[in-house]
Structure 1
């Protein structure tokens, strides 16, 4: 009689074969871990995954389908990533977190989530104390890195150089980077031009050019879900 504590998928081995005859970690290996803390995901997004994202329009549905294909084909040696762009509250961070989790759970590849402003603050604090080396190496060399809310505010010259260095290093060394950024769309047909101009004014045209080459661009449209939830709450 089979032990009820033994995983019915992998029979307790911790590994399963995929359709293309490769081996991956079984999902039971991740159920025993605190995935959110391992990936540095903020508490607000602990429940965010691909199954809890509910598309409201064509662009959101297209993004979800693109992510599923991206995760299925993910190869950490290629340095490919995704850039989610759109106005606040359309679910960009949810999608970025869901992508990071899916890569970890389906491919066994660990990455890290960082709010860009928080990352800059932490690096500055560690540099002031002369303790930045280990943390910076993790940011630079992690096979998957989420930079959330990139370019949301004007940066000092030092901050701009730091972000430029991180993105350039990851670009040159084929490290996958997932980016979310806010911007205000006024003319949809000019979206790519407006994205470039907005980020270039904060990070520099050279950095934006690298982002375009290393990542697939996904424009997420829709209303601000945060405002919608607040307005729908009974008084």
Structure 2
């Protein structure tokens, strides 16, 4: 493949639902006696698996979570999102630019696949990805584990060196680095970290195509095939 594969995270990169997810989790936390500010919820939950977040709240509260904690959190999240879901500013421009250049794209998220598809549909950007949607639930591995990104690359027929990951959370950045992929971190406010040394930070999503064009793997596809053939 002569062009890189662009792997997008979902929440906080393509659509802005992280605050709603955090709010849904905080609502479950309230049932457990926890009072969490928006800032504290973001610190505790951003980029993490939902069950991990609920286990963390149980540890903080010293009580068992409700048996239906995950459905309760998801229902509260959907209520906060409402009927309309807009892409993050600049996303439509970025996706159109990549598509016009013939650069393939996919989504790899810690969320369940049906949730990924639903949110892309609601935002009107699903056609850019088709069925190239990858969920941590499918590989039973959640970021910062690199296996989700590696599965996405393998399924799309692209070597890790040719992948560019677009992430917002540090756990996602760490997963991409562990997969030995190039990663750019989207942060509308670059003062809000953490950021990893050497990782490029983008303050606008419409800057993604330029960042992808600047990507140059250390080995060409022919070189990679020769190495694989010699193995």
* TM norm. shorter chain > 0.5: no
Structure possessing the higher radius of gyration over alpha carbons: 1
TM-score by length of structure 1 reads: 0.28
